[in-house]
């Protein structure tokens, strides 16, 4: 049957339009470049610091945190095209000064990039 139609062929009517807080926002992509953050207003009058560009990550190695420069994005399980564009998202595997690491947070929602070391191969 046609989408949005009853079995008799009549249309379903929406009860109301979407409210402002239900509308989707613009997608934020975090590129691999110089550090650039933005302070945005969120619901409830609060503010949130979000990343637009990052070149450093807090990497956890054996329970200790170290700051390292990001060289490149190796792979992204969610979408292989994001790795080609050097876009940082959760789950992406990045090459850092300390070795390969996986991003464990959502950089587009937070002002930093955090990850865990996968292989301890210094290059």
Environment class of residue 94 by beta-carbon count within 10 Å: exposed (0-12), middle (13-18) or buried (19+)? buried
Q: What is the pLDDT of residue 121?
A: 54
Q: What is the pLDDT of residues 57-108, one digit of tens each?
A: 999 998 899 999 999 999 999 998 999 999 999 999 999 999 999 999 999 9
Say how far residue 54 (Cα) sits from the centre of its chain.
Answer: 11
* Residues 19-42: tens digit of each pLDDT: 988 988 888 899 999 999 999 998
The yes-or-no verdict on residue 14 having pLDDT over 90 is no
* Other beta carbons within 10 Å of 32: 18
Domains and CATH numbers, the chain: 27-119 (3.10.290.70)
Residue 1 has pLDDT above 90, yes or no: no
Distance from C-alpha of 123 to C-alpha of 119, rounded to nearest angstrom? 11
Q: Quick check: helix, strand or coil at residue 84?
A: helix
- More reliable by pLDDT, 21 or 52: 52
């Amino acid at each position: 049957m046609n989408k949005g139609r009853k079995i008799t062929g009549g249309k379903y009517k929406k009860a109301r339009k979407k409210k402002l807080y239900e509308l989707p926002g613009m997608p934020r992509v975090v590129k691999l470049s110089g550090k650039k953050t933005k302070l945005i207003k969120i619901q409830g009058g609060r503010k949130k610091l979000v990343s637009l560009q990052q070149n450093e990550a807090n990497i956890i190695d054996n329970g200790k945190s170290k700051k390292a420069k990001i060289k490149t994005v190796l792979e992204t399980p969610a979408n292989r095209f994001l790795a080609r564009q050097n876009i940082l998202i959760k789950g992406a595997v990045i090459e850092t000064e300390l070795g390969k690491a996986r991003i464990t947070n959502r950089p587009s929602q937070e002002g930093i990039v955090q990850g865990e070391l996968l292989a301890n191969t210094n290059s």
